Amino acid sequence: MKRIKILLSVLFIIYNYLFAYEKIVLWDNEEVKADDFVFDGQKFIFDSDKVDIDKVSFIKFNIKESFEDFDDNKLEDISAEELLKRAEHLGKKYPDNSLLVLYDDGVQKLNKDGTQYSRSRYSIKIMNESELTNSILSFYHEKGSHEVKIVMARSISEEGNISYLKRSDITYTSPKQDLQFFSGKKDIYLIRAVIPDVKVGSIIDYEYEIIEASPEDENQFYTNWFFGGDNPVYESSVKFIVPENKSFYWVSRNFAPFNDKPIISIKDGYRIYSFRRGEHPPFIAEPDCPPKAELFPFVIGSSFKDQTYLSGWISRFLKERINSNDKMKDTVGSLLKEKNAKTEEEKVAVIYRFVQDYIHYRSIKTSISSGYTGHPATETFDNRYGDCIDKAILFSSLLKTAGVEAYPVIVMTNNKPRVLFDEIGLINGNHAITEIHLKEKEKKIIYLDSTSTTYRYPSFRYDDQGIPAWNPILNTVREINPTDPEINTSVFEKNIVLNKDGSGEVASYNVYSGDQEAGIRSYFIALKEKEIESLLRSIISRDYPGSLLNSYEYKDPNDYTKNLFLKMSYLAGNMAKKTGDFLIMELPISYNFDNVTLKNRNYPLVYSTTSGKKNKIKIKIPEGYRIKDVPEPIKIDNKYFSYQAGYKISDDQIYFEDHYIRSGIRIKAEDYSEFRKDILKMDYFTKTPIIINKE
């Protein structure tokens, strides 16, 4: 299922020219079909008949210009009557859906000359006003590279009335390119067209073709097709067509209960892989499940079994760009001397911070070679700007200058469907980071992301974790393991002096780590002092409404030598609820477990990274009161997280400590019930109040 960008061509510019076409539609919706026709400037001549141009509403062409003629390029036609029947069927089964997919068919083909061709037909019914924007077609066209042409576009009313798109209703605009992303390419157009007479209840039906006329590497051919999605699908099918002498590999997912194996046939020197899937219900997402496209039924294909060829193709560009000059060498030498960095990890930490601070994020790309392999490190260093691959190359180059082995690697961040680098050969990914091979001590491989601006070694961005990393230079695919949860563990200490009326004084000291530290640093750097003070007032009010901030102190967020800390003292009312001779108090700690509301799950529960938290609370109870009851200690240990907590009582003081560590980031659906049960035990414990009574 592909929503593709389209170009509508000028219809007739040459008289007495022979066209291959599929049908002529007259203004009364009568369809005239023939193998071909001649247009003489006034009428269309075909077989033994003629049609005046004034009587013609629409022509559905089968134009083939820069790609090879091949019968299997054509898609199966489907009548308006059949689409209306399918709409009635799906409408009865899924009346609450805003859109119904009635027909979804495509061809994706590698031609013998290395050019690529695709053709798609997409038919949907609009069931809600929110889907009316589907009548607006917005497409991308690049002359000589990615050329798109429409075959047919129409709307069908519930009564069966048909309205075709007119070529005069097409607009062409050049896309705006600002300094954050600039391609530098010319002859690029955004094409907008509005299918006429679309309203709620209408069927939208269109067909289009794309010619990839000049691929950068003719050996590369990739396909993908989704057979289901958020909306119900009546039928979806695709053909992948490759020359017989070319290899083709595919991976399929989520086809059950249908067969995911293709029907393979051979015709005219081509091998045809035909996939078809029948009715698919609408996908219903669950909180914090994997990216939806990972769970839809899909097939991806490639001309490569693994990354070997692609590694060779990309690495030659990367190797050229990993370089240095005297200025870079002098800078590294000065940095290491200033920070007294001698071990490998000390050197990595210093250079990591330098690249984050020194290079501003900006992307200027004009081709795959620069898009996937960036610019030379010396150029990025001198310009002081670059995007993810530019910064990864520069970071690798600077580390190499310091004697540390490092490589730029390509990834797909974990908020996107998992890229299958380890299953099939693909050029894919939306990000680049750095893979570092440490030789000292444990000789471990680590990953860092220098596009960040506020991370301290060894922390790196949460969305780079739990994903495969493709290293083209070494031709390896390795899994980026989640950060050790101890690195992501923040510590929260509170000293509380409780008064007899339930109010109290609080002195808090928070020490942040990992992702939380990076986020707070970024926030504090962006705020003015008055804004920070206002933020802190709102934070203490969330614990105890109406609290009054006495003082605060925090470590300079631009100082990366140690963890960021925050100290606050404040007066709080209603810390404990007074009931007769009793004070009932809940601990001022919080864990967010909103994602375990479902009793059962069909899909995994996914976290972006690991997590850790320690609470240390000391409460001085008022004179004349004693501690009546505190919860018994608790200890939970499963394969995804551990938690232990307990109280100690000493005269007029209560000491509480807990420690939460979650190392798992993907909770399997079959493990979810047990995981949830343990989370609820922990939640119940932390919310159980302590009871203090008057002597």
What pLDDT, in 10s, does the model give residues 547-561? 999 999 999 999 999
Indicate if the pLDDT at residue 617 is higher than 80. Answer: yes
3-class SS string, 219-252: CCCEEEEECCCCCCECCEEEEEEEECCCCCEEEE
Residues 261 and 357 in one domain: no
Residues 329 and 249 in one domain: no
- The rounded distance, in Å, linking the Cα atoms of 551 and 571 is 10
Residues 335 and 217 in one domain: no
Which of 27-41, 346-360, 375-389, 618-632 has the weakest average pLDDT? 27-41
Q: Looking at residue 515, what is its pLDDT?
A: 95
**pLDDT tens digits along 480-531:** 999 999 999 999 999 999 999 999 999 999 999 999 999 999 999 999 999 9
**pLDDT tens digits along 295-346:** 999 999 999 999 999 999 999 999 999 999 999 999 999 999 999 999 999 9
Number of H helices, E strands in the chain: 10, 43
Asked if residues 392 and 373 have their Cβ atoms less than 8 Å apart, the reply is no
Q: Which residues contact 99 (CB under 8 A, 6 or more apart)?
A: 124, 125, 126, 127, 128, 131, 134, 231
Q: What tokens does 554 get?
A: 């925090």
Residues 258 and 314 in one domain: no
Q: Which of 303, 324, 357 is the C-terminal boundary of a domain?
A: 303
Average pLDDT for residues 365-386, to the nearest whole number? 79
Q: Which of 430, 457, 480 is the C-terminal boundary of a domain?
A: 480
Give domain status of residue 33, yes or no: no
Mean pLDDT of the chain: 88
Buried b or exposed e, range 486-506, using 16+ CB within 10 angstroms: ebbbbbbbbbbebbeebbbbb
Q: What tokens does 513 get?
A: 């780590």
Indicate if the pLDDT at residue 438 is higher than 70. Answer: yes
Average pLDDT for residues 53-76, to the nearest whole number? 51
Give domain status of residue 37, yes or no: no
Asked if residues 374 and 387 have their Cβ atoms less than 8 Å apart, the reply is yes
Using alpha carbons, list the distances in angstroms from residue 662 to 299, 448, 603, 638, 666. Answer: 34, 21, 19, 10, 11
- CATH number, position 575: 2.60.120.1130
- The rounded distance, in Å, linking the Cα atoms of 159 and 436 is 65
Residues 131 and 218 in one domain: yes
Indicate if the pLDDT at residue 289 is higher than 50. Answer: yes
Give domain status of residue 30, yes or no: no
- The rounded distance, in Å, linking the Cα atoms of 192 and 137 is 5
Single pTM value for the model = 0.85
Q: Looking at residue 370, what is its pLDDT?
A: 53
Residues 459 and 530 in one domain: no
Q: Give how many domains the chain has, as a whole number.
A: 3
Residues 565 and 440 in one domain: no
Give domain status of residue 209, yes or no: yes
Give domain status of residue 639, yes or no: yes
Q: Looking at residue 41, what is its pLDDT?
A: 53
- The rounded distance, in Å, linking the Cα atoms of 100 and 85 is 12
First-last CA distance in the chain: 73
Q: Which of 303, 322, 339 is the C-terminal boundary of a domain?
A: 303
Residues 178 and 146 in one domain: yes
Indicate if the pLDDT at residue 15 is higher than 50. Answer: no
- The rounded distance, in Å, linking the Cα atoms of 406 and 393 is 9
Residues 299 and 316 in one domain: no
Which range of 24-38, 323-337, 588-602 scores highest in mean pLDDT? It is 323-337
Give domain status of residue 239, yes or no: yes
Query: DSSP H helical segments within 473-630, as ranges?
Result: 514-526, 529-543
- The rounded distance, in Å, linking the Cα atoms of 148 and 481 is 41
Give domain status of residue 494, yes or no: yes
Residue in the block written with tokens 């929260």: 492
- CATH number, position 182: 2.60.40.3140
Residues 236 and 379 in one domain: no
Range of the domain at 91: 69-303
Give domain status of residue 81, yes or no: yes
Q: Looking at residue 519, what is its pLDDT?
A: 95
Residues 556 and 672 in one domain: yes
- The rounded distance, in Å, linking the Cα atoms of 663 and 488 is 10
Indicate if the pLDDT at residue 181 is higher than 80. Answer: no
- CATH number, position 422: 3.10.620.30
Residues 431 and 559 in one domain: no
Indicate if the pLDDT at residue 177 is higher than 90. Answer: no
Residue in the block written with tokens 């859906």: 97
